[in-house]
A = this chain, B = another copy of it.
Amino acid sequence: MDRPDSATSSVSTSDDYVDLTPEYAREILDALHEEDTTRVAELVGELHFADIADLLGWAGSWERQQLVDVIRPDFDPELLTELDDELREEVIAQLGTAAVAEAISELDSDDVVEVIEDLEEAEQRELLGALSEIERARVQEALSYPEYTAGRIMQRELVAIPDYWSLGQTIDFLRSAKNLPEDFYDIIVVDPRYRPVGMVPLSRAIRTNRPVLVRDVMETEDMRTVLVTEEQENVAHLFRQRDLISAPVVDDNGRLVGVITVDDVVDVIDEEYEEDMMRMAGVGEEDDLSSDILDTTRSRFTWLLVNLGTAIGASMVIGLFQHTIESLVALAVLMPIVASMGGNAGTQTLTVAVRAIATRELSSTNAWRVVRKEVAVCTLNGLAFAVLSGLVSWLWFDNMRLGAVIGVAMVINLIMAGAAGAIIPLALERAGVDPAVSSSVFLTTITDVVGFFAFLGLAAAFLM
């Protein structure tokens, strides 16, 4: 975009930062390797802190060390909130706790919590020691709430006023007050016991004439308070469902203790999705690109071990039919088809169900309707693929009865796949377990066992 050439030309246009493209990153890293520090500092200086965080993630460890030294003089502590846990620890260690402590004292309390909650205790103490007394108390209080609850993601900096003030009083208060949050979107109205009774969105506050009383313009219907111990997942659902921008957080006595804003919730949504996706694939949540090889290997080992167990189980089913296979080896050739189709059809159902439970489109109210539908869908596809796989097998091995057997086994396995794909996550949810976490291993165990058993069992009965 070109710069405005009008009366306002002294004002810089919208975006003063350069976008971090892979090419731009390459340029920086190349300059690093050529030890052209001036150029590196110049190029990095053009980036927004969030892009610098991405760059640190893309860099190798030697490069990252060099880059941290480059950004050290103008270090923006908000960068720390954008890093993965492991990278954050590395960067903090390199910068030194003293420097970091000074830097994070500029942050809002929720950001400080995010930065320090996963650090080792000694480091945490050192950083906390460098904060002002008020801020330290705020952060320590936040850390006293369980992880993944509203208390961890809320900020303590907020604007609360009594409902008998006029808008004029409110605005004068805002103009003179110190220690307000940097950005806020709603003014929280509290009663004398400091319990929220309404909110005034800033867009309404600014449009209202000074003499009007707060109690006459405040929003009460669309305000939702959040309990400080509420799980962050439920908070995210609430924000999403009600299109909230901010919500007051209260303690057990209904007293205002903080505020959650939508930007924190966006992070939670990201985390929750990532968790679902990773759990379905059997990957730990802490498994990201910056974890080291041994940690990653160890965290994935467990899931693979479970899978080895279920695979051996499926093999034992095959083992029951060794003689059948010996007399018709085509069965060994074809049997993975039935199991694989069942696994895939079941995964389709499972994914739709896990997702629908997460968005609350699927609840116990419509559970049976959904199970019936999924079974119907899988039955129809089962019939279609019975015909297709039956024909292929008939032609391939010139054996019509073999074709019939694989067809019937296919229908049986796909019906089971549809039922299991819908019922497993519903049952896990009811048992209070995250439906994403172990659904797929249960599912493929069922589709493998049923697939092999149906196909080989039918073959033993009708082809021998």
Give the distance in Å from the alpha carbon of A224 to the alpha carbon of B263 in the complex: 16
Instruction: Select the stretch in A88-96, A124-132, A351-359 that faces chain B.
Output: A351-359
Instruction: Select the stretch in A36-44, A97-105, A142-150, A177-185 that faces chain B.
Output: A177-185
Give the distance in Å from the alpha carbon of A352 to the alpha carbon of B84 in the complex: 14
Contact (Cβ within 8 A) A283 B352: yes
Residues of B near A15 (CB, < 8 A) are 223-225
Give the distance in Å from the alpha carbon of A146 to the alpha carbon of B344 in the complex: 33
Given A1-B225, A25-B363, decide whether A308 and B341 contact each other with a Cβ distance below 8 A. yes
Give the distance in Å from the alpha carbon of A29 to the alpha carbon of B366 in the complex: 11
Give the distance in Å from the alpha carbon of A384 to the alpha carbon of B272 in the complex: 31
**Interface members, chain A 2-61 (any B CB < 8 Å):** 2, 4, 6-8, 11-17, 22, 25-26, 29, 48, 50-51, 54, 57-60
A122 within 8 A of B: no
**Interface members, chain A 363-399 (any B CB < 8 Å):** 363-366, 369-370, 373, 376-377, 380-381, 384-385, 388-389, 392
> What is the interface size of chain A, counting residues whose CB is below 8 A from a CB of the partner?
153
Contact (Cβ within 8 A) A300 B225: no
Protomer copies? 2
Contact with B along A154-178 (1 / 0, CB 8 A): 0000000011100000010011000
Contact with B along A229-240 (1 / 0, CB 8 A): 000000000011
A303 within 8 A of B: yes
- A388 CB, nearest partner CB in chain B, Å: 6
Give the distance in Å from the alpha carbon of A17 to the alpha carbon of B225 in the complex: 12
Contact (Cβ within 8 A) B341 A311: yes
Give the distance in Å from the alpha carbon of A213 to the alpha carbon of B192 in the complex: 37
Residues of B near A427 (CB, < 8 A) are none
Contact (Cβ within 8 A) A14 B329: no
Shortest 5 CB-CB contacts between residues of A and residues of B: A281-B351, A332-B332, A202-B202, A58-B365, A4-B191
